[in-house]
């Protein structure tokens, strides 16, 4: 049976689990590398009774440091160590989707206001040769 609604205990929070999309044109970084990964900005949907400064509906910047898992492997052909870094967020499945189940201390800051989005594109104009 999948829960419809939950109430976190102590200092836990539940946030959305928004992910980067390949067509996310607002990013400067290579979007294809980030596609499918969890965004660092999420919206809070539930809080525990000991959470003090965060409210339901707040947008927060989450810090994944606690959930980083590093896997070392030895590449035989390259004779170098390779690292695989994964972030294993605790996830709770509810009737309407998947959510992150975090501690209040996993939040770096609350976003008070977003800057207005611009649709202006910076176009590159190659230099012209003057003869």
State the Cα angle at 63 between 32 and 74, rounded to 5°: 60
Give the largest CA-CA distance in the chain.
Answer: 76
Domain 12-111 fold: 10 Kd Chaperonin, Protein Cpn10; Chain O (2.30.33)
Output Rg (C-alpha) for the chain, integer angstroms.
20
Structure pTM? 0.76
| Structure confidence at residue 126 (pLDDT) | 57
Cα–Cα distance between 113 and 51 in angstroms, integer?
21
Query: Is the backbone of residue 36 left (phi > 0), alpha (psi -120 to 50) or beta?
Result: left
Model confidence pLDDT, tens digit, residues 65-120: 999 988 777 665 555 567 778 889 999 999 999 999 999 999 999 999 988 865 55
| Structure confidence at residue 32 (pLDDT) | 60
100 versus 23: the higher-pLDDT residue is: 100
| Structure confidence at residue 22 (pLDDT) | 72
Q: How does the average pLDDT of the chain come out, rounded? A: 83
Per-residue confidence band for 58, with pLDDT thresholds at 50, 70 and 90: very high
| Structure confidence at residue 70 (pLDDT) | 83
Ranges of each domain in the chain: 12-111
């Amino acid at each position: 049976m999948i829960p419809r609604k939950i109430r976190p205990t102590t200092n836990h929070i539940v946030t959305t689990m928004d992910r980067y999309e390949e067509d996310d044109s607002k990013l400067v970084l290579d979007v294809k590398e980030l596609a499918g990964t969890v965004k660092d900005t999420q919206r809070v949907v539930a809080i525990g009774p000991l959470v003090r400064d965060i409210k339901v509906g707040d947008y927060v910047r989450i810090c994944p440091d606690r959930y980083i898992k590093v896997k070392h492997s030895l590449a035989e052909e390259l004779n170098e160590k390779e690292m695989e870094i994964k972030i294993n967020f605790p996830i709770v499945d509810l009737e309407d989707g998947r959510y992150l189940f975090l501690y209040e201390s996993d939040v770096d800051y609350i976003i008070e206001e977003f800057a207005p989005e611009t649709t202006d594109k910076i176009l590159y104009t190659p230099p012209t040769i003057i003869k």
